[in-house]
Structure 1
């Protein structure tokens, strides 16, 4: 249970950065950036067939499609301010244009959960009282019956008059989309969490104020440069790139689904597209590294890469540095409601996994609070000190709560992240566990144990859950390692007696968005 805000364990205030220029509608920033570079390529989308020419989208062409979508959405009447619009269109430049169109009209784009079924869409339409849905022409008839059940009109955009293709306009003036003023606190975007805790993705509502602040936080943390070529796995980064004028080269995923990732296609893009920066999650980079283990290559053109979405093991960071020798590897810790929370540049030697997962310094402008104090064991030269009264010093861990301008909560309210961790002497945030599994066993959090066991050869996945009485951890492993090896590694790291049952599974359950977060609720 969340404790009262009056007595936090740790509260780390950081002076906020200088306030950016105010834009009442986040679409204003996007439209202005596109109008400033009408002939410049802003988006490169992979072709439907492998080996075909990718779709190159200029600023003017994207603005033209935004206008086409706005006309289609309001063909039967104006879209009321704040009206939700479901984006049921497959991933494509059309989806990007439709999202910008809804924003400009003052509506609220609603992105459904990953791989949403017809049943999920039906309940979403009812819960959000959605009256319009953006769909592809081929699915308009198939989804029309679903919309009619709840009074929702499915909209597919017509061709944009005067524009032969996405690459650029015929001579003439650049299209000007409708831009309506909105209140800063009006919802601007509804997306969904990964649902890793319960399997039920939760709606995340970001206002125009929060979208502006999240954009500024990313721009401050990772300043863009002219001509930057970015390779974003996370869709929200595309919006950020459009606002700063960075080219987004979209990864070549079959049907846009991470589950259908073909590493060979991604590696080919990294080679031919001269990518300079890229972001992804643990599953994504593990698949690329497995391929590169068979077909070695390095990418000296890459200057920076970011890993996030779930805890990032030190072993993964070391492997990435060998394949991207000139890149700075960043661990990016955040949530849909707060992007980013902390960032770590992993430039030095690997850190001790017994300490948990280091995610770096909290972002400027955030207040960070730790609740539910727990004494976390810290390793010394002798692991036999584990839990001893005269043992090593301990940090006090608690649930990580944040608040600030780029946090999607009511002003002044704290956002509970569900992660537990502590701040070390240098102010670096370390994660030790996840809500629902955060009971410490003799001062050790389950993330600390899992991180150590992930270093073992033959461990593809690992999860540890404390027993309700806190007497030991039960462990689940996917991979070729033996139970005896798991027990021995735990004893060497933390002393004997920490583990209970060790079970093997072919694959551990994970979330359906990042394929990296363990579904602890499905283990027992």
Structure 2
């Protein structure tokens, strides 16, 4: 269902060429102020980005990279990643993008399956690529301190060259009259993106040039970014979308685990006034936590932000409303989408407030109506039955609950899978199975209730977790929450894990807090907190809460820092209530039914 690039969303390379003589900043990473944490390589102009990308493209073509070759890119979001992605796409090769934060094990699974011809990565990635045989030919970027590698280091890493050497070689080729090959066809593969959640196998989604162009168009329907309005990309990958549309981007310096200090956000707003802002729910929470320390100048800078999108996980009305007050704008969006289908729906703060006023108990969270060109359908399912496989199994009428499927011009073209698995996946051609569960209401709004497989099954009932988690997060002192079922299916006990806010952490939220329990180890919540969470959850379900557990931190994904890893939470709680080494066994627990 891909469409061809049009004047509304041209090939990203053309957007770069259109600003090739512009000396204004294209991408700025880090602020160089306050915490000093995160990337700090400063601004790169449009002219320099275009020149670097052109030279890397010429160099790669000269050393034998041709249309269709897969080039792995394992770099943090920044100037080198941006130039490499533009260059690889321009010569018709396929960039295979894997977040370095996935870790070696997940990267190994992903990149081995990708069948790479070459790899451009960090020194650590280059080292792993040689040991694990990810790619026969390797180039390194981000050399320590900007110093070139010694001959011994190059031999150890098995390097063919470095990013600066690719740029220099391209400069020589350009001086000699070399030119770029013809642009790739719109339907040709452009990008493979690997993502992973929890312990699952990394999933590779394949995009054509046309699909990427359509995704840019869809993103701009949520946030009005473009050449005249830039993006503050607290969620760093949004910077790549911005550059593809010819929009300048600033990536504010982030702290540990992706936390975003409100002062760093203000510094980014000063660098790029009247911008749109993209951030995750975890970053919203950290901005709100640190806002009290802002001075008058910082608060005035934040008021220049015009529009906001918060994506990656459910976010509460209270959090969005507080963010809206801090930034002085009501143009706050909470779009819904996922890797391979981003975005699908959108909802504004005011629309969310209206939806919440009519929300039935247990309805989950409203993520709005489908964007233009997007179709949402529901695959009804029994938790114990096999999932739907084709469009013939889908329902579009209101009130049907099940797995959410989406169809749109910007849906990924396919998955990167072995032939047998690819054939099964293509049974749903034109549709993307999200894995999320929910329903569409009579007003055409999509409500999410959980993930397929995350259902909690106490005797005589089936619970979805999202409504329970939102209720628990509404309790003062709770930053994150995760609801899981403990015990055998059909006889499970409802348990709620909570992560305390910094203020509550200081007060000691669990019974074990005073004994210095290590971070990440579960502990039963203290009586006061347990009572508040139990009472809040009681407003959305009649099923009794068997235990409230403090888990600090609650494990989340590496990409958004917001998507709770339910399997890890469940294992942690089971280890607490059944004893070490017994998690997952179908024995008795100490939880209340």
Contact 1:140/1:156, CA 8 A, preserved across alignment: no
- Which ranges in structure 1 are unaligned for 5 or more consecutive residues? 1-15, 165-171, 376-393
1:491 and 2:538 are equivalent in the alignment: yes
Greater CA drift, 273-282 or 123-132: 123-132
**Distance in structure 1 (CA, Å) of the matches to 2:206 and 2:548:** 40
Aligned to 1:10: none
Residue 407 of structure 1 deviates from its aligned partner by 0.5
Corresponding residue number in structure 2 for 1:13: none
Q: Confirm whether residue 396 of structure 1 aligns to residue 400 of structure 2.
A: yes
Q: 2:113 is matched with which residue: 114, 127, 133?
A: 127
d(CA) in 2 for partners of 1:152 and 1:123? 19
Q: Does 1:476 align with 2:476?
A: no
Larger helix percent? 2
Residues 285-300 of structure 1 mapped to structure 2, 5 A cutoff: 285-295=284-294, 297=299, 299-300=302-303
Q: Alignment RMSD, CA only?
A: 3.7
Q: Which moved more, 1:436-445 or 1:287-296?
A: 436-445
Q: How does 1:137-286 map to 2 (within 5 A)?
A: 142=127, 145-146=130-131, 151-154=136-139, 155-158=161-164, 160=167, 178-196=180-198, 198-224=199-225, 227-253=228-254, 258-259=257-258, 261-271=260-270, 273-286=272-285
- Kept in 1, the 8 Å contact 2:70–2:117? The answer is yes
Stretch deviating more after TM superposition (285-294 or 213-222): 213-222
Q: 1:370 aligns with which of 357, 378, 384?
A: 378
What's the counterpart of residue 44 of structure 1?
A: 28
Paired residue for 1:323? 326
> For each residue in 1:175-202, what CA deviation from the matched residue of structure 2 results, as whole angstroms up to 9, or x when unmatched?
9972534344432111222414x34432
Structure 2 SS opposite 1:73: helix
CA contact (8 A) 1:368 1:401 kept: yes
Residues 139 and 439 of structure 1: CA distance in aligned 2, closer, same or farther (over 3 Å): closer
Match of 1:408 among 385, 406, 412: 412
Q: What CA distance in whole angstroms lies between the structure 2 residues aligned with 1:149 and 1:517?
A: 28
Q: Give the corresponding residue for 1:390.
A: none
Cα distance in structure 2, aligned partners of 1:438 and 1:157: 48
Decide which moves more: 127-136 or 43-52.
Answer: 43-52
Decide whether aligned partners of structure 1 residues 102 and 41 sit closer, same or farther in structure 2, where only a CA change above 3 A counts: same
1:516 counterpart residue number: 562
TM-score for the superposition, normalised by structure 1: 0.80
Change (3 A) 1:455 1:87: same
* Contact in 1 for aligned 2:126/2:138 (Cα 8 Å): no
Match status 1:21 vs 2:6:
yes
Per-residue CA distance 1:7-60 (angstroms, 9 max, x = gap): xxxxxxxxx99975289994543444334x534432223367867997332222
- Residue 448, structure 1, aligned to residue 467, structure 2: yes
- Alpha-carbon distance in 1 for matches of 2:96, 2:2: 30
- SS across alignment from 1:395: coil
- Report how far residue 105 of structure 1 moved: 1.1
Residues 294-331 of structure 1: CA distance to partner in whole angstroms, max 9, x if unpaired? 44746221111000011112221121112112241100
8 Å CA contact 1:356, 1:447 repeated in 2: yes
Q: Match of 1:358?
A: 366
Greater relative contact order (CA < 8 Å, ≥ 6 in sequence) = 1
* Alpha carbons of structure 1 residues 234 and 492: separation in structure 2 relative to 1, 3 Å: closer
SS of structure 1 residue aligned to 2:65 = coil
Contact 2:9 2:216 (C-alpha < 8 Å) held by counterparts: no
Q: 1:438 aligns with which of 439, 455, 464?
A: 455
The 2-side partners of 1:81 and 1:184 are apart by 13
- Residues 1:465 and 1:151: Cα distance change in structure 2 (over 3 Å): same
Following TM superposition, by how much is the alpha carbon of 1:425 offset from its aligned partner in structure 2, in angstroms?
1.6
CA contact (8 A) 1:400 1:416 kept: yes
Q: How far off its partner does 1:149 sit?
A: 7.5
Report deviation, 1:455.
0.7
Q: 1:267 Cα shift? A: 3.4
Tell me the equivalent position of 1:8. none
Q: Which residue of 2 aligns with 1:460?
A: 479
Shift of 1:122: 4.6
Report the alpha carbon displacement of residue 271 of structure 1 after superposing the two structures with TM: 4.5
> Which residue is equivalent to 1:11?
none
CA shift in 2, pair 1:81/1:229, >3 Å = closer
Q: 1:208 to 1:311 in 2, by over 3 A?
A: same
CA distance in 2, matches of 1:515, 1:177: 42
Residue equivalent to 2:578: none
From the superposition, tell whether residues 432 and 41 of structure 1 become closer, same or farther in structure 2 (CA, over 3 Å). Answer: same
Give yes or no for contact 2:231–2:250 (8 Å, CA) kept in 1: yes
Contact kept in structure 1, 2:211 and 2:409, CA below 8 Å = yes
Structure 2 regions of 5+ residues with no counterpart? 140-160, 384-397, 415-425, 501-508, 510-527, 572-593
Please, which moves more after superposition, 245-254 or 145-154?
145-154
